[in-house]
Amino acid sequence: MSRQQCSQPIPHCYRHPHRPPPPPPPPRRLQKTLQETIHDIEAQISRLEQIEKAGSLNVRQEQDLKKLRDLMSKALTEQARVKSEKLRQQEIQLALAKSQSQSLALGKSGRPGNTMSDSASRHSSDNSQMLLQIADDFIENIVTAGCQLAKHRKSSTLEVRDVLLHLERNWNMWIPGYTSEENRQVKRPAATEAHKQRMTLIRKTLKK
């Protein structure tokens, strides 16, 4: 009798009392991507359209087909908006990266662009660091102000128009290719008194 009891299998819960329980299975991905959603909607629309061509589409299926087409239109609009936002983000990142690379080049060489033979025009290391700090502060100021404008219009995405608006309003700068108004009126500087006197002298000379 004792041999029969020893030969019986030990229950699983008593085999390894100190072994931790097995890890839970990984959670299933419940949310679909936008592209997957569009693909599923296209498949459902195609199936209902085949039934419609066969002439066996009932009233409920007609309503479902109409809802699916409306949903497909909204999904395509959202997909286009997401692509546009990604392109704008890439443009902003490229512009910031270009500005930072120019700032680094300025810090290394001590002068932007062309080399000048005159030794008096060369910047010292202190001046280079000061110019580099000014450029970094300028970029940080633009990004901070652009984020505030994006937050003001209740958006979590920094767009090109936010940066352009800050540059136009606060720095009187217009970026070629990104200006919203093509036919912008350029402010002419006010004529000084010396300029008026010179113009008067020229007119008197021409009349003689």
> Per the structure block, which two tokens stand in for 116?
């000048």
Give the CATH number of the domain where residue 175 resides.
1.10.20.10
- Whether 4 is in a domain gets the answer no
Residue 140 falls within a domain, yes or no? Answer: yes
pTM for this one?
0.33
Confidence at residue 112, expressed as pLDDT on a 0 to 100 scale: 47
Q: How far is CA 5 from CA 8, 15, 34, 100, in A?
A: 5, 16, 61, 79
pLDDT of residue 63: 86
Q: How many domains does the chain have?
A: 2
Answer yes or no: is 94 within a domain: no
Residue 78 CB partners (closer than 8 Å, separation 6+)? 34
Please indicate, yes or no, if residue 18 is contained in any of the structural domains: no
The answer as to whether 173 is a domain residue is yes
Indicate whether 189 belongs to any domain: no
SS3 199: helix
Which of 187, 183, 143 has its CA nearest to residue 167? 143
Domain that holds residue 148: 125-180
Whether the Cβ atoms of residue 65 and residue 44 lie closer than 8 Å to each other: no
Within a domain: residue 99? Answer: no
Q: Residue 71 falls within a domain, yes or no? A: yes
pLDDT at 106: 62
Q: What is the pLDDT along the chain (208 residues), one digit of tens a residue?
A: 444 444 555 554 445 555 666 666 665 555 567 788 888 888 888 888 888 888 887 888 888 888 888 888 888 888 888 888 888 888 888 888 777 777 666 655 555 445 554 555 555 677 778 888 888 888 888 888 888 888 888 888 888 888 888 888 888 887 777 655 544 555 566 678 888 888 888 888 888 6
